[in-house]
Amino acid sequence: MSRLYLPFILLLLIALQGTTAAFIPNFLLEHGWIIVFHSVFVFLVLFTLFYDLEHTYYSLFFAILSGVLIDIVYTSVVGVYMFSYAITIYFVHGMRKLLHANFFVALLLTVVGIAMADYVLYFIYLFTGFTNIEALDYFYYRMLPTVLINTLIFLLFYLIFKRKLVKWSELRFEKKGSIN
């Protein structure tokens, strides 16, 4: 049963991304700040760290899937979010082998992951002509506020999901282990 929770939560988060624009205060937009909520990605990082084992790649699978969904639903170009999320989650998964999963590692990997994923988005959108702002402007106006906001989301999600993810992971993989 707990297997179904994860795709369900992800689907809900993807749907909720459609309303995040309403929560960004207007005065920030007037200053030219661009804030993008990567709540799905933050959840995926937690998923990688606390649910996946070292040799399982469920998080990568879900990263690709939710990336494609975001592409289809919210942008007119398919493949950008998919690639960006997948490659960053793959990186986080790789880092997981080196670092022990605790709160500070999760925080660090979220900040680095968000910056990476968002930069990849910027890079591809720049090349495909959907944006033409310069790199410095991008760092100041988009990456900084985006990373800040998503760190807040991370703190919230960590409180809500961390224990549950660990529990579901144990439920799932230990059962499997006992069968083998």
Residues of the shown chain interacting with other proteins in the complex, contacts defined by CB under 8 A = 11-12, 14-23, 26, 29, 34-37, 68-70, 72-83, 86-87, 121, 124-125, 128, 130-131, 142
Residue 8 and residue 116: Cα distance in Å, rounded?
A: 26
Cβ at position 17, least distance to other proteins in Å: 4
Q: Which is nearer to other proteins, 8 or 103 (CB)?
A: 8
* Buried/exposed 124-144: b ≥16 CB within 10 Å, e otherwise: bbeeeeeeeeeeeebeebbbe
Q: Which is nearer to other proteins, 18 or 176 (CB)?
A: 18
Cβ at position 179, least distance to other proteins in Å: 27
Residue 97 and residue 105: Cα distance in Å, rounded?
A: 12
Start-to-end CA distance of the chain, whole Å, equals: 21
Cβ at position 104, least distance to other proteins in Å: 27
Residue 81 and residue 95: Cα distance in Å, rounded?
A: 21
Q: Which is nearer to other proteins, 131 or 166 (CB)?
A: 131
Q: Which amino acid is at 157?
A: F
Q: Which is nearer to other proteins, 78 or 171 (CB)?
A: 78
Cβ at position 64, least distance to other proteins in Å: 9
SS3 of residue 36 by DSSP = coil
Q: Which is nearer to other proteins, 126 or 155 (CB)?
A: 126
Cβ at position 21, least distance to other proteins in Å: 4
Angle between helices 144-179 and 2-16 (to 10 degrees): 170
